[in-house]
Structure 1
Amino acid sequence: QSLKPNTDYKFKALCASVGQTVSEGYPVVEYTNGKTLNAPFDLVITGTALPAKGEALTAEHAVEVSDVHNLQVQMSVFENDLASLHEDQPVSITVVALGNKAFAGKLSSINQIGKYDTSGSKFTVSADFENDGSLKLGMSASCSINVRSADNVLSVPVAAIQSGEDGKYVTVKAGDAEEQRKVETGISDGQDVEITSGLNEGDTVILPSAGEPSDAETSGGEMNMTEQEVL
Structure 2
Amino acid sequence: MRIPRSLEVWKMGTVNYLDALKLQEKLVADRKTRKIADTVLSLQHPPTYTLGKRRTDHNLLIPESELKMIGAELCYTQRGGDITFHGPHQAILYPIISLRDIGIGARNYVEKLELTMIELASLYGVRACAGQKGETGVWVGERKIGAIGVRISYGITSHGLAFNIDPDLSYFKHIVPCGIADKEVTSLRKETDSLLPTEEVIQEQLISCFARLFGYSNLIWKEKGLIFSDNGEN
Q: Normalising by structure 1, what TM-score?
A: 0.19
Q: Which has the higher helix share?
A: 2
Q: Normalising by structure 2, what TM-score?
A: 0.19
Q: Which has the higher strand share?
A: 1
Which protein shows a greater Rg? Answer: 1
**Highest RCO, 1 vs 2 (Cα 8 Å, sep ≥ 6):** 2
